[in-house]
Amino acid sequence: AQSVTQLGSHVSVSEGALVLLRCNYSSSVPPYLFWYVQYPNQGLQLLLKYTSAATLVKGINGFEAEFKKSETSFHLTKPSAHMSDAAEYFCADRGQGGKLIFGQGTELSVKP
């Protein structure tokens, strides 16, 4: 069955440090991958999406992700963490009919 795996349910970084959130997918067909961010008591907001146009995808708030087919990965990075980046991050793949299949989520904490 199609699935998305996020390694690490919790990641903690210092302000100004590199952010790396890991995501692996299992789809056997070309995937369409998404990263969403969820702040407390809010809905999900799209950070970026991969649609096969380019392997390096730039999103909002300085985030970017690189699609690597050989590794079935779509890791999210940001060169310098900001306190406002603290939130829950979800990786998702598009399933049949357009529904999203989400990973378990990674909570990002940013230390001052």
Partner 1 sequence: GAGVSQSPRYKVAKRGQDVALRCDPISGHVSLFWYQQALGQGPEFLTYFQNEAQLDKSGLPSDRFFAERPEGSVSTLKIQRTQQEDSAVYLCASSLVAKRTSTDTQYFGPGTRLTVL
Give the binding site for partner 1 (CB under 8 A). Answer: 4, 6, 9, 32, 36, 41-46, 49, 51, 90, 92, 94-105
For partner 1, give the closer residue by CB, 17 or 44.
Answer: 44
Check if the beta carbon of residue 91 is closer than 8 Å to that of residue 6: yes
Closest approach of partner 1 to the CB of residue 29, in Å: 10
Burial degree of 35 (CB within 10 A; 0-12, 13-18, 19+): buried
Closest approach of partner 1 to the CB of residue 78, in Å: 20
Closest approach of partner 1 to the CB of residue 75, in Å: 17
For partner 1, give the closer residue by CB, 98 or 112.
Answer: 98
